[in-house]
Structures are given as C-alpha cells and as structure tokens.
Structure 1
C-alpha cells in the first residue's frame, strides 16, 4: 500500500471529520470481570498499575481463559477536571508520538487525584472491589464483591456464583489516557457529567475499543456501547437508556451481539422508526456468502404495533405473528485511515451496508 503523508491530528478529530459510522462498532464481550484499580494507569491498566506486572498478567490470563473480558475501573477523579489542573486538550499520560508533549502539572494533578481515591479525600478502604457482569441477552446481571488483598482476585469464581447481585446499571467511561490520549480528552468530561448525576454508578474505565469514537462509554450489564458521548448531553444518553430507548446518533451497538447483528438492529431501528432497546431481538443469523463483500442474513423479532406503524413497510406489518424482519447486510471496508492516535500505518476497518430489509420469505 502506498504510504500517505498527512498532518497529524487526534484520531477522534479525524473520525469526526470523516463522519465515520458508529453503528456496529461495539467490541465483543459476553461476560466481563471488572476490577477497581485506584491510582494512575499505564498503557496496560492491569500490568502497569498497583497490581504489578506479574499479578496483573495472571488476572488477565485467567479472565480471558474463561472467555471473559477484563476491565479496570476507578472512581472519577474530580480534581483532574478543574481548569487549573487540566489545560485544554491535555491528557494524564505521555501522549503517543507525534502527539504534543505531556504537561507535567496536568499529570501530577491527575495522578494525585486518583491516588487520593477519586472524588473523596477520605481514608481508603484496604479492600479490592470487583464485579462479575453478564451481558448476554436474557442473562444480564451485575454481581459485586471485594477481597482483602489483590492476590485473592485470582480465587474469585468467574461463573457468577458469588458476589451480591445489584439491580443498578453500571456506567463505564473510558479515560485510559496512556492507551490513547483521545480517551482522556473526550472521556473525562463525560465521566464528570455522569458522576454528578449518578455518582455511585459511574466509573472511569480502561480501554473499551474504538478510540476514534472517544468519548466512549458502555452501560452494563447489557454491554451497550456509545461513542462521541461528549457531543451529546451525556446525561440524556443515560436517561434514554433508563427509559428503554436509544439515541442512534451515539449508539455503537451491543457487545454481546456479532457485528452483523448490531448492524441489522441499527438499520431496523432507522428504517422502522423504533428506538426501543427491547425491539428487534436477534432470532437468528447466517452467512449468505463469504466472498467479498461478505453478506449476512439476520432475522429480528419486532413488536407488531411498531411494524404496523411504518407505512413504507406495510408488507412487514402483514407478516404472520411473531413479527419478523429479515435484514441482509454486507461487510465492506472503509477508506484507509489511522484508527488510533498512536497508529503510524493506514488501515481499513469493517463497516456494514444495508442490502435489504423485509419480511422473511414464507
């Protein structure tokens, strides 16, 4: 591929300029193991933190071997958001080349805020909190627990059999600056806004995936991904979620679904005008062809009243119960782009185009 020379700019700025589609970009994650790790994070939030490299690697390997995703969380460090502590467009960690140099005062203020335990300056509890999250449709749950020493995290069952089940959602906002500076620049305002409204349920978190869509956030247990949340009234995203609805302008998809299924749901909501999260559950999916462009058929369930209200899709409304929608999407590739701030080579990323949306054949 011919090399391209372009003026460097943050990956999320470039993504906004290109208007990269958000739909069907939620990273895969069926179950998660969240670990509260206070203090600053290095490039890897488990191995370059207070856990230490050896223990951090052991935790990550154990969680991934169980088919789960590890995620570091910490309370929102309010001090890092003040104008004095954080000059515009500066992140807590060393910015990846050729990003602007780090501001030491900013780094010290951020690290001090996290070392103090986030929003409160009281004494820290000598315990390590964790959460088991199941994002699979029909099995959604969050269970919280804690251990006395970090080594005991290796003994926590990863099957959801322990911990206290919580009915409350968990709002995780990526602020992992040393992974990508955009996550801090765009993520911290989102985290701060949510922490003001939902202090007990809001957490900063490590890398979620999709740095170019910063500020990125996920709502658990469902694993609902959002991007460019700082372009929205952030609290409204959560209010819509609590009301069982989704704003398609910021919704990336659900982590427990395949990317073709995420794309199918996006197009169904767009075409049928139904923004309810509960609508368009995935019934089945199958690949129709592996040759480029790869196409996938996804059958979705939808409430009949929703379908009947769409005048331009009257045949769908006439389908026999249960109401089904057949969506066919094709996997395409974007134009060459730099997907992260640290990227030095251009690459193409997956996108999905709508081929058809109709009732399934009899």
Structure 2
C-alpha cells in the first residue's frame, strides 16, 4: 500500500452502524466533548491503525514518549492529515492549541524528524519556531480503523469543508463519540460538534468564523466536565447568547445524587444551571461492540439568576 493512499474501500451505511443506531435512538450529544483543553496536532500522512499516531508510520517509541509526557500536563496528542492524498515531499506540520478562556491560541510549526517533537514545549511554541494563527481550523474525525462510521461520514464532510476553506481542514484521529459521526472540532474555539452533514458545510463555516455556537449540533466545549458543557449549551439557548465568548464557567461541582449546579458568568449577570445526570441504556455504542451497554446522559433542568446579579432568564421544569 502507498503510505499516502489512506482511503481504503469505503464502507457502506447499514443498520448495524453505530452512528445510524445512535441517530435513530436520538442519543443526546451534549456533554460528550473530551476533557483536554490543550492539544498538540501532529501531521502524519498515510494510514493510521486503531491507536492513531502510535499505530502509523510515525516512530512508535517517539509517539509513546510524546503522549506520556504531554498527557501529564493535560495536553492531548492528535494525529492529523490533509483531506485526500498528501503530495510526496510535503513537510509535515505541528500545531499547539489552547482553548481555555482568555488563553485561546493556535501556533503552527513544522518538523522533519519525528524525534524533534520531543523537544517541543507546548508552553512556548514560539521558541520552537511556531507562528501564531488567528483563523479557525477544522478537525474532522476520519479514523476508519477506530470506527467505520468515522470514515463513512467524516470523509465527505472533510471534503466539503476543504472545498470552502482549502488548507484550513484536517482529517483527525479519534475525537471520541464515534456514534455521533461526523465529528468536527473547531479550533481554537474548542467547540466539538456531532452529526455534521456535508451539505451544511457553508452554514457551519459561516457560524464558526463568526464565533457562534451551533446549538443543534453541539457536543460540548472541550476541556470542561460534562455538566459544565451541558450548562453552557443550555445557557446559550435560554439566554439567546450565540457567541462562544458570551459565557464563562465559574464553577462545576461534582454531581451529588445525580445533580450538579453549575455557575456561569454572562453579560446579564451570574447564573446557576441545574444539570441532572442519568444512566441511559443502549445497544451498540460502537460498530465493534454491538452488545447492550449504557452511557451517562446530561440534561439541563433549570437556570436561575444568582442573587444580587439579575439576569433575564427562562426556567425549564424537570
């Protein structure tokens, strides 16, 4: 196999695919974004095995060291590649991304030898020759060896986005939530979406470039606990605040008896959002595991102003 020909025969959408099962069950997506707020993106053309970067033509030992070292500081490593085939001789790129409030940034650099990345300090990307990038970047999960749905639904979305924003779109290794394919992560906003369709690419890109939250497709904001992601999504809708930077998380407590009260800061004052955690029974959460299983579902049930900080709110009964 040509290492840059990473598109094996396309799988078919059949009733046993996890994304279709999830869609028919209407599995809730909110609260399912992954917990890391900082990322290292590593361009690695060619095929990826189930483990992504560590299971590719990238040096396996270097990948293991990189993931272990950065993982200890809360940085998630993602393999990326360009949609379609990568031209022979292309210099591979890396990116350091921070999605935290008031720290949002994206820096690009390049590398020749895999081991060079072991010297990269994510706290000082400029010191490694990184160049700041202020425009949105789109990661589309197309990790077929992790789940067929990622390839089946992800690759057409990546192609549609690439046609609109050439060079701003990357196929990505596993982003979590295979059953929500196609999964798209907008950086450095840190907004993760599911069930994105190719024909909606233009509207999606327009909203992302305006810094808006696309509520109907939102899985959550990466780097936050699930209850915090759910509270944010609810507040965006109930307060009619459309921009990602309109809301900030102040405190996300651990759920007690299945309930968490999350405090947010909004332009109208601080608010408390009550989130209920429920166990949802389901079958076939991934294509490789058709057995009965379950997952934690997060449901917002109320939003209230914090005393002394009035806000215009709409309450929702449980």
TM range (shorter): 0.7 to 0.9
Instruction: Report what 1:290 is aligned to.
Output: 256
Per-residue CA deviation, residues 217-246 of structure 1 (Å, 9 max, x unaligned), is: 101112110100017602311211111222
2:213 to 246, 263, 266: 246
Query: Hey, what does 1:13 align to over in structure 2?
Result: 20
Give the TM-score normalised by structure 2. Answer: 0.86
Aligned partners of 2:96 and 2:125 also within 8 Å = no
Could you tell me which residue of structure 2 aligns to residue 339 of structure 1?
Answer: 285
The TM-score, its normalising length taken from structure 1, stands at 0.76
Matched positions, count = 292
- Corresponding residue for residue 242 of structure 2: 275
Aligned to 2:169: 202
Match of 2:100 in 1: 136
Cα distance in 1, alignment partners of residues 49 and 108 from structure 2: 25
Q: Is the 8 A contact 2:230 2:275 kept in 1?
A: yes
- How far the C-alpha of 1:249 sits from its partner, in A, is 1.0
Q: Pick from 42, 45, 61: which aligns with 2:52?
A: 45
* Structure 1 counterpart of 2:89: 124
Matches of 2:39 and 2:253, distance apart in 1: 26
Name the SS for the 1:336 alignment partner.
strand
Give every structure 1 segment of 4 or more consecutive aligned residues whose post-TM-superposition deviation is greater than 4 Å.
none
Q: How much does 1:255 deviate?
A: 0.1
Deviation at 1:8, TM superposition (A): 6.4
Q: Is the 8 A contact 1:46 1:60 kept in 2?
A: no
Evaluate the alpha carbon distance shift between residue 8 and residue 237 of structure 1 in structure 2; reply closer, same or farther with a 3 A threshold: closer
Give the 3 Å change call, closer, same or farther, for CA 175–161 of structure 1 in structure 2: closer
Partner residue of 1:75? 82
For 2:214 and 2:256, how far apart are their aligned partners in 1? 32
Instruction: Determine if contact 2:189/2:244 at 8 Å carries over to the other structure.
Output: no
Report the equivalent of 1:65.
72
Asked if the contact 2:44/2:57 (under 8 Å) is kept, the reply is yes
Contact 2:31 2:220 in 1 (8 A): yes
Kept in 2, the 8 Å contact 1:29–1:223? The answer is: no
Larger Rg: 1
The Cα of 1:276 is off from its aligned counterpart by 2.4
Q: Aligned with 1:196: secondary structure?
A: helix
Higher strand fraction (1 or 2): 2
2:15–2:21 contact (8 Å) kept in structure 1: no
What is the rounded CA distance, in whole Å, between the counterparts of 1:333 and 1:232 in structure 2?
A: 33
Structure 1: which 5+ residue stretches go unaligned? 1-6, 78-112, 305-322
The match for 1:93 is none
Q: Distance in 2 between matches of 1:342 and 1:265?
A: 32
DSSP-derived class of the 1:228 partner: coil
- 8 Å CA contact retained: 2:82, 2:171: yes
Deviation at 1:160, TM superposition (A): 3.1
